[in-house]
Chains A and B, each alone.
Chain A
Amino acid sequence: MAALIELAGVYKIYDMGAEKVHALNGIELLIDRGEYVAIMGASGSGKSTLMNLLGCLDTPTSGSYRLNGVAVEELDDSQLAAIRNKEIGFVFQTFNLLPRTDALHNVELPLIYAGMPRRERRERASQALERVGLADRMHHNPNELSGGQRQRVAIARALVNDPSLLLADEPTGNLDSATSVEIMELFDQLHAGGNTVVLVTHEPDIAQHAWRRVNLRDGMVLSDVPTEQGGAAAGGVWATPVAPESPPA
């Protein structure tokens, strides 16, 4: 079985008029189903660009990106939207919830664009909120929730479509350290439950939760190593995903 993510010779070049900025400079990366990967790098290393690319918000200038066997660079705008809808769950640093809209409806959002009927949508959205421990906050608007709760809602939204890939961009960047730990524990659980998790961070202790760490510099992969976690769990064979447990009903 092919890897979930296959990046081969990926370049992303921004034409800034006078000069061309090579945000990604020939990335090669394979990520299998069930992996837990942290992407690290200083600002300007290309990690945000890579994140946008992995999330199908953008396409490479050259090179190929296969997600679940689909060549993403060949897709048009609405096909990209469909991939984002079905295959990817985003978690952002700033949560990006819709204001004046309760948690349940926020979580329903991807299902709406999937065209799912209301009743089914509600049921799945409430299940997702239960999974992140917010069963009692479904009808609260984001401004009535704490930062950690907001991020949980965002995670529920990311999970609700059963995506192939959970993509988190500095998910704890706006949270205090205690809440950060809670959120990272949630990601650990989701990974243990069989989800593929990729997180972008510049904090080493957040990256420690992952099993594999990819360091970027100047748009290239500088290093790609198992973390202590990954090394310990996989007995040194870090690239092999753990057998997924069945997710809680």
Chain B
Amino acid sequence: MGDPGGSGEPPGLAVVVLENLRIALAALRANGMRSLLTTLGIIIGVAAVVAVVSVVQGLQHLATDVFEGVGANFLHVEVNQDRQRGPGLIAKQVKLTAEDAQAVREQVPGIRFFTRIAAGSAQVKYAERRHQPGSVMGVDEAYQDVMNHAVERGRFLSRLDLENHRKVAVIGPKIVDKLRLGRQPLGKEIYVGNLPVTVVGVMETKGEQLGTDLDDRVFLPFGTALELFGRAAADRIEIDVQAETTAQVDAVRDGIRRLLRRRHRLAAGRPDDFRVIVQDELLKQITGFLSGVTAVVGGVVAISLIVGGIGIMNVMLVSVTERTREIGVRKAVGARRRDILLQFLIEAVALSLAGGIVGLALGYGLGALVVAVVPAHLPPAHVPAWAIALAFGFSAAVGIFFGIYPAGKAARLDPIEALRYE
């Protein structure tokens, strides 16, 4: 006869789980099209996450690279754009003047290299060949050292060039190409706007950073640039600085702030009308922007995952109804509530995980496509392991969350009624 009193060991959970996995996969296969449509929400959600994360991660890598280039001692001073947007027409023009810069240079201790920058745009021309460079910048002779960007051929702007407002220029390699200055660009006379200048140097190739072509630039002596742009340009300049040591960066920043507040006559309590950005703040700004993008997309994704989850819940409810009789049979031969619960939960998770896998592949492809199609030279898409884990975690969580109700419904079915169900 049967085992005397039944064996004492608890029924193997693993056996039931394996059976449930088998059922889940069989159901996925049997209802291929339905499964695909059901998981579309999950697929789209996960694909969006992965695509965005891959692009954003690439950008973040790049941002880090850029700022490692200028180094940790770098500080940047500019007009505070936010403060410019005052109320209506009475908004006052916020200034950062050449005199402010002069004061910073003379009065703030701890500065190793210093340059003013007056940036503008102007066409360049050589022998009827014209080109619109990315930017034309009036700078000081220390620009090279401040920005860690050196001249490759010829020389950079000298103190004499600066003092005498000489009509000379240092140009990026892209300008050499565009104007077809040939192998011997040095000494050639080009026009920047209506200003004839002699090329004295060509910068080393830096490539693109964050969508800006660093090789498509023209550098003029600061004073020369003001003659080109007009006097107003002297009131809206930028200042870039290298502190003597990393430890002094904060002191330099505070020194600049105190000085400029005094010069701009800002009463205590009023916010700065300028911004001193140190390297890691710049990095933080960009990272902040990227996080913003990620958050917005994250919201969209959350919605699509919820929609996907509801789809799964719906199809699981249908599946429970379709298989009412099967549930009755399983219960009659000894399946407990938790066995049935597990069966449908595993099926829901398998469904959403399958969506997650498809979404992952799709998202990765999409990220790669964006990088390939967008003209700005974006870094290769990069999907970190945590994003993959996140995608799977999310789809599993959606499966569990939206699967629990149908599974619970199945588990609570009365076996007698389930067996009678037609």
Contacts and interface: CB of A to CB of B under 8 A. Distances in A.
A98 B329 contact: yes
A109 B2 contact: no
Contacts of A98: 326, 329
B149 interface: no
B415 interface: yes
Interface stretch (A113-121, A215-223, A233-241): A113-121
A81 B335 contact: yes
Interface string B4-19: 0010011111011011
A78 B337 contact: yes
Interface in B181-203: none
A100 B329 contact: no
Contact of B419 (A92, A115, A162): A92
Nearest to A111: B15
Given A85-B333, A110-B334, A194 B15 contact: no
Interface in B22-37: 26, 30
A14 to B, nearest CB: 11
B12 A86 contact: no
Contact of A115 (B12, B325, B332): B12
B15 A112 contact: yes
A96 B325 contact: yes
Given A81-B336, A96-B325, A115-B16, A86 B2 contact: yes
A57 interface: yes
A153 B194 CA distance: 98
B16 A110 contact: no
B54 to A, nearest CB: 40
A57 B416 CA distance: 7
A100 B10 CA distance: 29
Interface string A3-24: 0000000000000000000000
A164 B4 CA distance: 11
Contact of B11 (A52, A114, A161): A114
A100 B326 CA distance: 12
B1 interface: yes
A161 B30 CA distance: 30
A112 B19 contact: yes
A118 B26 contact: no
A115 B15 contact: yes
B416 A52 contact: yes
B1 A85 contact: no
Given A96-B419, A100-B26, A100-B30, A117 B1 contact: no
B406 interface: no
A113 B11 contact: yes
Nearest to A154: B329
Interface string A53-89: 0010110000000000000000001100110111100
Interface string B323-342: 00110111111111111000
A100 B330 CA distance: 15
B3 interface: yes
Given A77-B337, A98-B326, A100-B30, A162 B332 contact: no
B333 A113 contact: yes
Q: Top 4 closest A-B pairs, CB basis?
A: A85-B334, A115-B11, A115-B12, A113-B334
9 contacts: A81-B331, A82-B334, A86-B334, A112-B16, A113-B334, A114-B11, A116-B15, A118-B15, A194-B1
Interface of A: 52, 55, 57-58, 77-78, 81-82, 84-87, 90, 92, 96-98, 100, 109-110, 112-118, 157, 161-164, 194
Interface of B: 1-3, 6, 9-13, 15-16, 18-19, 26, 30, 325-326, 328-339, 415-416, 419
